Chains A and B, each alone.
Chain A
Amino acid sequence: MALTIHGLTAHEMHDKLKNKELSATEATKSVLDRISKTESRVKAYLTLLSEEALKKAEQVDKRLAAGEDLRPLEGIPMALKDNMCTEGIKTTCASKILHNFIPPYNATVAEKLEKAGAVLVGKLNMDEFAMGSSNENSSFYPVHNPWDLERAPGGSSGGSAAAVASDGAIYTLGSDTGGSVRQPASFCGVVGLKPTYGRVSRYGLIAYASSLDQIGPVTKDVRDCAWVLGAIAGHDEKDSTSANVPVSDYSHALNKDIKGMKVGIPKEYFAEGLDEEVKAKILEAVKKLEDLGAVCEEMSLPHTEYALPAFYLLAPAEASSNLARYDGVRYGYRDKNAEDLITMYKQTRSQGFGPELKRRIMLGTYALSSGYYDAYYLKALKVRTLVKQDFDQAFERYDVIVAPTAPTVAFRLGEKADDPLSMYLSDLFTIPVNLAGLPAISIPCGLSQGMPVGLQIIGKPFDEAALLQVAYNFEQNTPHHKLKPQLEVE
C-alpha cells in the first residue's frame, strides 16, 4: 500500500483526482518534492521542469474545477527520456554534441501526452544517444540504481526506470532498440514494455537505429502500462514506418484470465550465461503461470545466439548514418577553433561524441563500407530473417513466449565499463525481439541478492494485449510489484 502521493500508481492517482481527494498540483508537488530528496543520489534527471509542471497541474485543476471530465492520464506527473523532442525544452540525448539543442517541435508521443493532460516534470538521463546498457555512457553523469546506489540502473533508459522505481515520476517513457526499456525495467524492478515495431510513432525520437527503435512505457504496474500504451500508440502520418493497425483497448485485456493459454519457454534463453538464481526466479514464475492455468512448454528458437552479433552490426550501421547530421553546422556543439570545414567536422564530432558512440560509429561505418557490406551488413540482415522466422514459427504454436529479461541482476557501476563485449552480452535476451520487431514486456518477478529480477513476456506482432493479459494475471497473483527499494531520503 502506498502511503505517499508520489508512491501512487497512475491509475490510483487518477482515482484520487477523480474523487477530489487530491489535486493535480498536490500530486505534482509531491513528486517534485520526492525528486528533490532523491535526485542527488539517483541522478535520473537531466532537466527538471518544476515551474512548467506546476503551471500545467494548475491548468488541470482549473479544468476539473470547471466541471470537465478527467481523462485517464490527466494531471499525472511523468517524465520523458531525453531523446524525445520537446518543443522549447532542451533535448540533449545525454550527449555533449546536443548539450544546448532546443527543438522547435514536439515528438509525436510528447504531443499526444501533452494533449492528454500529462504533467511533464522533466527530461531523463540515459546512455548517450541510447547506446549502452548501464547508463554509464551519459555524457553528463551516470544514473544510480535506487535498489543499490553502487549498481547500474541498466540502460539505455536508466533514468526512465530509476525515476519510476524511486517514485521520482509516476510513469515515464523510454526507448528500446535492443532492450533499452526492458533491461533497465528489470534492473530497477518496474514494468517496461517495448511495443511492436510501428505501434508507436518514432517521429521526434532521436534515432539510434531506425529499423529497431521503438518508444515504450515504464510504469509501476501493468495497468498503468496498459493506460500509457493506449495513450501513445497509433498510426502517425509523420512516420512512414508507423503501422496503420487499430489500437486495442488494452485495459480490457486485463480482465481476462490465462487459462489454456499456450506459453513457449525457449531453451536457448536458459543456457550458458544465465545466472543460476535468476534462472530459479524465472522458473518459479513459469510455475506460477502454470498454476494460473497456462500451458507452458519448452521449445526452441534456434538462431538466438546469432541475434547479438547481427544486432551489433545492424544497429551501429544505421547509427553511423543517423549520427552523420551532428556536424556542427545547424545545431548543437561546434568546435569553434577549427579554421576549415574538415577540421571543424572532425573536431566537433570527436569532442562531441563519447567513446562508446565513436566505437559504434566506427563499427557501423566499417560494416557499410565498400568491400565489407556483403560480409557484414547484408549478412546481418539475412540472419535477422532467420531470427524472425524462429519467432514466426513459434507463434504458430504459442500465444506468448516467456524468458528472462536479462541474464543477471543489475551489475555494479564500472564493472563492465572497459569491456564493450561483456556489456553487449547483457542484452542477449532482449535483442532478438527487436530484430523480429515484436512486442515484449518486462515485469518484476522477485529478488536475487536483494536486487530485482525481470520476467520477459514476448508476443505476436500487434498483440500487446496478450502480453498485458499474461503480465497482469501474474502480477495480481504475486507480491513482487509491490516491493520498493529502501532509498534513504535526505
Chain B
Amino acid sequence: MSISKKEVEHVAMLARLEFSEQELEEYTEKMNDILGYMDKLNQLDTSKVAATYHVLPINNVLREDKDRHYLDNETALKNAPDKKDGMFKVPRIV
C-alpha cells in the first residue's frame, strides 16, 4: 500500500499538524518508505490469529468509589499557558 500526498494532508489534519508544501513531499516519501517496509507483514497469514491487546492476562482492575480532594485551583492552573477566572483560556473556537 502507498499513501498519497492528499492522504498525508488529511492525516495531518486529523493529527492537528501542519506542513509546508516541501514538508508534505518529504513526509509522503518517508511514510511510503516505512509503509513499504510494513508490507512485509502481509507475508503472514493471520486470519486465524487472535490480536494481543494486552500481554498480561489481567482483568477487572477496579477501585472503590471513594472521593478525595487533590489539587487546589491555583495548582491546577499553574502550568496553564493562558488563564482567567480560575479557568483555562483558549482562543476563539469558531
Direct contact between A and B judged by beta carbons closer than 8 A = yes
B-contacting residues of A (Cβ < 8 Å)? 100-102, 104, 197-198, 211, 237, 240-241, 243, 303, 305-306, 309-310, 312-313, 320, 324, 327-334, 336, 338-347, 349-350, 353, 358-359, 361-363, 365-366, 369, 372, 375-376, 378-386, 388, 420-421, 424, 435-437, 461
Contact assessment for A382 and B18 in the assembled complex, using a CB-CB cutoff below 8 Å: no
When distances are taken between beta carbons in the complex, the residues of chain A under 8 Å from B69 are none
When distances are taken between beta carbons in the complex, the residues of chain B under 8 Å from A329 are 80-81, 88, 90
* Residue of A237, A365, A382 touching B51 (CB-CB under 8 A): A382
Contact assessment for A336 and B81 in the assembled complex, using a CB-CB cutoff below 8 Å: yes
When distances are taken between beta carbons in the complex, the residues of chain B under 8 Å from A365 are 11, 14-15
CA distance A421 to B40 in the complex (A): 14
Q: Give the distance to chain A from B60, nearest Cβ to Cβ, in Å.
A: 10
- Chain B residue nearest in CB terms to A102: B79
Contact assessment for B44 and A361 in the assembled complex, using a CB-CB cutoff below 8 Å: no
When distances are taken between beta carbons in the complex, the residues of chain B under 8 Å from A383 are 41, 44, 46, 49
When distances are taken between beta carbons in the complex, the residues of chain A under 8 Å from B40 are 305-306, 309
Q: Give the distance to chain A from B92, nearest Cβ to Cβ, in Å.
A: 5
- Chain A residue nearest in CB terms to B10: A369
When distances are taken between beta carbons in the complex, the residues of chain B under 8 Å from A343 are 91
Contact assessment for A340 and B92 in the assembled complex, using a CB-CB cutoff below 8 Å: yes
Contact assessment for B61 and A240 in the assembled complex, using a CB-CB cutoff below 8 Å: yes
When distances are taken between beta carbons in the complex, the residues of chain B under 8 Å from A369 are 11, 14
Q: A241-B58, A329-B90, A338-B91 are in contact. Are A102 and B78 (CB under 8 A)?
A: yes
CA distance A465 to B5 in the complex (A): 50
CA distance A341 to B78 in the complex (A): 21
22 residue pairs from A and B, CB less than 8 Å apart: A198-B56, A241-B56, A243-B58, A310-B41, A312-B38, A329-B90, A339-B92, A341-B90, A341-B92, A346-B16, A349-B17, A358-B27, A361-B17, A362-B12, A363-B35, A366-B7, A366-B31, A369-B14, A372-B1, A381-B51, A381-B52, A383-B44
Contact assessment for A306 and B44 in the assembled complex, using a CB-CB cutoff below 8 Å: yes
Contact assessment for A197 and B17 in the assembled complex, using a CB-CB cutoff below 8 Å: no
Contact assessment for B16 and A349 in the assembled complex, using a CB-CB cutoff below 8 Å: yes
- Chain B residue nearest in CB terms to A98: B79
CA distance A237 to B93 in the complex (A): 38
CA distance A380 to B71 in the complex (A): 40
Give 6 nearest A-B pairs by CB, closest first.
Answer: A437-B55, A331-B79, A381-B51, A334-B81, A382-B46, A240-B61
Contact assessment for A211 and B30 in the assembled complex, using a CB-CB cutoff below 8 Å: no
When distances are taken between beta carbons in the complex, the residues of chain B under 8 Å from A424 are 34
When distances are taken between beta carbons in the complex, the residues of chain B under 8 Å from A336 are 81-82
Contact assessment for B79 and A332 in the assembled complex, using a CB-CB cutoff below 8 Å: yes
CA distance A424 to B34 in the complex (A): 10
- Chain A residue nearest in CB terms to B12: A362
- Chain B residue nearest in CB terms to A197: B55
When distances are taken between beta carbons in the complex, the residues of chain B under 8 Å from A344 are 90-91
- Chain B residue nearest in CB terms to A305: B40
When distances are taken between beta carbons in the complex, the residues of chain B under 8 Å from A104 are 71, 75-76, 78
CA distance A339 to B94 in the complex (A): 10
CA distance A349 to B18 in the complex (A): 8
Extra A-B contacts (6), CB below 8 Å, given A331-B80, A382-B52: A100-B79, A198-B55, A313-B41, A333-B81, A366-B3, A385-B49
CA distance A322 to B18 in the complex (A): 19
Q: Give the distance to chain B from A93, nearest Cβ to Cβ, in Å.
A: 14
Q: Give the distance to chain A from B71, nearest Cβ to Cβ, in Å.
A: 6
Q: Give the distance to chain B from A23, nearest Cβ to Cβ, in Å.
A: 35
Contact assessment for A375 and B1 in the assembled complex, using a CB-CB cutoff below 8 Å: yes
When distances are taken between beta carbons in the complex, the residues of chain A under 8 Å from B34 are 312, 359, 363, 420-421, 424
When distances are taken between beta carbons in the complex, the residues of chain A under 8 Å from B80 are 329-331
- Chain B residue nearest in CB terms to A239: B61
**Residues of B52-94 contacting chain A, CB below 8 A:** 52-56, 58, 61, 63, 71, 75-76, 78-82, 88, 90-94
Q: A347-B18, A369-B14, A385-B51 are in contact. Are A197 and B41 (CB under 8 A)?
A: no
Q: Give the distance to chain B from A206, nearest Cβ to Cβ, in Å.
A: 14
Contact assessment for A420 and B30 in the assembled complex, using a CB-CB cutoff below 8 Å: yes
Contact assessment for A350 and B91 in the assembled complex, using a CB-CB cutoff below 8 Å: no
Contact assessment for B27 and A359 in the assembled complex, using a CB-CB cutoff below 8 Å: yes
Contact assessment for A362 and B15 in the assembled complex, using a CB-CB cutoff below 8 Å: yes
Contact assessment for A350 and B33 in the assembled complex, using a CB-CB cutoff below 8 Å: no
When distances are taken between beta carbons in the complex, the residues of chain B under 8 Å from A386 are 44, 46, 49
Q: Give the distance to chain A from B45, nearest Cβ to Cβ, in Å.
A: 10
Q: A310-B41, A383-B41 are in contact. Are A346 and B75 (CB under 8 A)?
A: no
Q: A102-B79, A359-B31, A437-B55 are in contact. Are A380 and B91 (CB under 8 A)?
A: no
When distances are taken between beta carbons in the complex, the residues of chain B under 8 Å from A332 are 79, 81
CA distance A366 to B80 in the complex (A): 30
